Amino acid sequence: MTSDQSAELGVELKRQRGHKALLDLTPTQLWKIEDQGHAARAMWNLLHDLWTMTPKCQRSLARMDAEIRRARKEVDWLAALPAQAAQQVLKTYMRAWSNCWEGRAEAPTFKARFRTRAAIDIPQGRDLRIKRLTRRWGQVWVPLVGLVRFRWTKDVPVGKRADKDNRITGARLVKDHTGWHIVFRVRTEVEEPKPHAGPGVGIDVGVTRPLALSDGTFRDHDEWLTPKEKERLRRLERTRERQKSHRKPGDKTSSRLARTNHRIAGYRARAKRRTLDWQHKTTTGIAEQFGIIGVEQLNITNMVKSAKGTTEEPGKNVRQKAGLNRSISGEAWGRSVTLLEYKLADRGGHLVKVPAPNTSTRCHACGFITEGNRESQAVFVCKNETCRWSGNADTNGSFNIEIATRKQTPQDIVGVRTWSLSQWAGQEASTTGDPHTRAKGFHRL
């Protein structure tokens, strides 16, 4: 059944989303949740030590489960973590190993206290007992804590609105700089969207211009922190390094250093909130305008690796590479693609990931590739004497992404839609190679 036929028949789809809300905790409730967060982290570390020290022939899920039950009976502070939350720690740990074995992630490691975000799972949605109190406040039941108020910013299926297809399936308590939050897992039943009739476009991500579209437009943003905020952050970071220099390894963190770390985390959290706000608004606008979007399939993890090298073979331009890595991480390209992917799916659109090699060095107009095509980070000038196309380098990359998207998109999805490339490129790049041009150091698309 095609998407058109399913849309006509009104096929229902189950969609799961997360909704994050701020908790309003009393001092006693805060103390209890903090204990649960530390117990969950310690449970992970104990499981990791047990797993790595146990011979491979004796490792099993049943043994790990039995050890958890025994530890909660014998260790008082581990009993602060509810039984279901402890079982969820085990499930998460085993899932981490499955992801490692299947090549999707690195092996799970020890969770340090000050580098790990505290989290507590409430796997059963029926235990939450969610109730709306006022226009701005709701109430939820947290195991071993009691009834806790949370900020009501979005309607969720509770009470008479909840059924087997529209309900909250569970939640997770998470902690960040602003305090403890609860993240609800909301499952709803929606009709399959009709095919998006919007045009197709290619998007190139960058540092100087965050998003360059093949229709010739850009999606830019201001700095995440104002100049004054950046200066305050820089001074705080210098203060932190000075305070850390007086701290011996193994000593307890001083109150002054803890205060400095808290203020630094506040500025970074503010920058992240502004980043998320811009990304959500921008990707929503793009998903509503375009039906097919092509992006590069980038391995961002490899792109932001350090250039320090080793003692025998030290790296070059280490400081410059570190600055580029910070800029790439600050733009959060992977999150933008993730937001585009699910927002397009909700609107009947499609996201196509194309290979990244040569998209920045290939001329979209003639298809030739040379090492000197990109004169700078922002300017592209084709060195082919018969072409000599020049323009913004990111825009040229988005043109190449659009060409590759058109070739990879199935014909039944393309349908009758417009593409932006026709108004920019004089002729579409050829897909055949020319031995004569290759001998000169040129390659066609």
pLDDT of residue 92: 92
**pLDDT tens-digit series, residues 376-431:** 667 777 777 777 777 778 788 888 888 888 887 776 666 656 776 654 444 444 43
Structure confidence at residue 244 as a pLDDT band (50, 70, 90): confident
Q: What is the pLDDT of residues 340-384, one digit of tens each?
A: 988 988 888 888 888 878 777 787 777 777 666 565 667 777 777
pLDDT digits (tens, 9 = 90+) for 164-181: 778 888 999 999 888 899
Asked if the model's pLDDT at residue 85 lies above 80, the reply is yes
More confident residue, 266 or 318: 266
CA distance 428 to 342: 30
Tokens 């309003």 label which residue? 24
Residue 25 has pLDDT above 90, yes or no: yes
Which residue in this structure is represented by tokens 């103390």?
Answer: 31
pTM of the predicted model as reported, rounded to 2 decimal places: 0.79
Residue 308: band (very low, low, confident or very high) from pLDDT cuts 50, 70, 90:
low
Q: Give the pLDDT band of residue 314 (cuts 50, 70, 90).
A: low
| Token output for 435 | 């031995």
